[in-house]
Amino acid sequence: MKRFIKVIGIICVFAIACSGIVGCENRESETSATTDVTTCVTEPPLLNQTEQSAVPELDGYTLLWNDEFNGTDMDETIWNYEPHSPGWTNNELQAYTDSEENVFVRDGELVIKAVASEDLDGNDYYTSGKVTTQNKEEFTYGKIVVRAKVPEGQGLWPAIWMMPADQNIYGSWPMCGEIDIMEVLGNDVQTAYATIHYGAPHAQQQGTLTLDDGSFSEDFHEYSVEWEPGEMRFYIDGVLINTVNDWFTAVEGGEEKPYPAPFNLPFFLQMNLAVGGDWPGNPDETTDFSNAEFEIDYVRVYQKPQYDTNVQKPVKIFREPLEDGNLIYNGDFAEAEDLTDTTNWNFLLFSEGAGSAAITDGSIVITSQAEGTEAYSVQLVQADLPLYNGTKYRITFDACAASERDMIVCVSAPTNGWIRYFEDTSLTLSTDWETYTYEFDMTEKDDNNGRLEFNMGNLDSLAEISIRNVRIEVVAAE
């Protein structure tokens, strides 16, 4: 267990100056007042108090740098404050500051705290902290390990992530690349995300882990990434949640840069606690800012002695259609498959959605117990769809509901910035089986991971939905 060192030393120096008494003939003696002067000198702050030799070793790696945060102050030889005004990015509400109210060391942990107040006009005003290692600890490849505990609360958005030291080589975001080791939304602290961003056009690949018991706000968890030429592997508490090896960067419409660009340059680490924004939404009356603290126990960065940089981009493998031309596997629901894995059909719950799904008698039945906060809070999907540029596709399926209600269907791009190949389309289901047919043109680059989505979350109904005979097939190809 980490030993925490708290030392506050004060040296007080007392000097007493007394003037002499001088007497002159025919003059009255004069006595000067005695003055006490007290000077207090505070010892320099204690920074990281753990020797590198005391940090756990990892097979095949050497420790590059670390911070155990067991001193009294943040080590500014490693970390920078990065102040920003509200609205700096992602429509976030907070002002990032260099105040000790927002960033401080306590009991062996770095604490990034979001604070709510009001401005002079009585409007909500939020401050928080963001720290980076830019220009101080920058590196190419390695294993980054961070143990942290996130806050719970609507609108809170903690993150551990990396950006390139020079963002001009391949271009501005997303062409320069971004590595997100951990993000958690404060209104859904059972789920953590690990993502890379690249492009253009903007693309991303994301892994998630949802805890069966507890949450990421109840205790500390260890988040890590093994970043190598041609592959990244993301872990939470040693569990692999995402492996990525297929990325690119290019000026939109231009030729791709040589692989493994953009992730072949020095990056730096950063950690922050955002308030509000496009993804988490804004705080509300339930958000408890007295506990809005992102706590980091340690940061450890390891490297292998050497890396083989002579890597080739993997060849994309496209899933073959079935014999009848259907791109959807088990579209007739003949197999009562496991709906919790990513093979064929996958039933998903997010953002306070609750429900269940079961395959029976050639159809799938979705029963909702809670709508959640988003349309995708209750969701049935099938990924790995092979979609080719210049091809027209047709979607068909039968559906009905226990009572009239809405559902949204789309074809999305999980590894291409979540753009829509077939736009979100709302349909109203009746109590009778009806057949629905849609067509769309694939105008983007070839994608081996298109995803059909049926979204039935926050749509003002909990009525049971049944779906059968799902098909996606080619209508015309160039």
For the annotated catalytic residues, the residue numbers are: 178, 183
Partners of 30 in the beta sheet?
Answer: 22
Backbone angles phi, psi at 290, to 5 degrees: -65, -20
Indicate the residue type of 353.
G
Cβ partners under 8 Å of residue 344, min gap 6 = 329, 330, 337, 382
Indicate the residue type of 274.
A
Structure tokens at 284: 């509300």
Structure tokens at 393: 């596709």
Residues belonging to the chain:
478
Indicate the residue type of 49.
Q
How far, in Å, CA of 253 to CA of 162, rounded?
26
Structure tokens at 61: 């790696």
Partners of 148 in the beta sheet?
Answer: 221, 296
Cβ partners under 8 Å of residue 44, min gap 6 = none
352 within 8 A of 373, measured Cβ to Cβ: yes
Cβ partners under 8 Å of residue 264, min gap 6 = 140, 229, 309
How far, in Å, CA of 335 to CA of 139, rounded?
49
Residue with tokens 């015309």: 476
Residue with tokens 């029976």: 360
How far, in Å, CA of 164 to CA of 176, rounded?
7
* Residue 338: CB atoms within 10 Å: 13
2 within 8 A of 70, measured Cβ to Cβ: yes
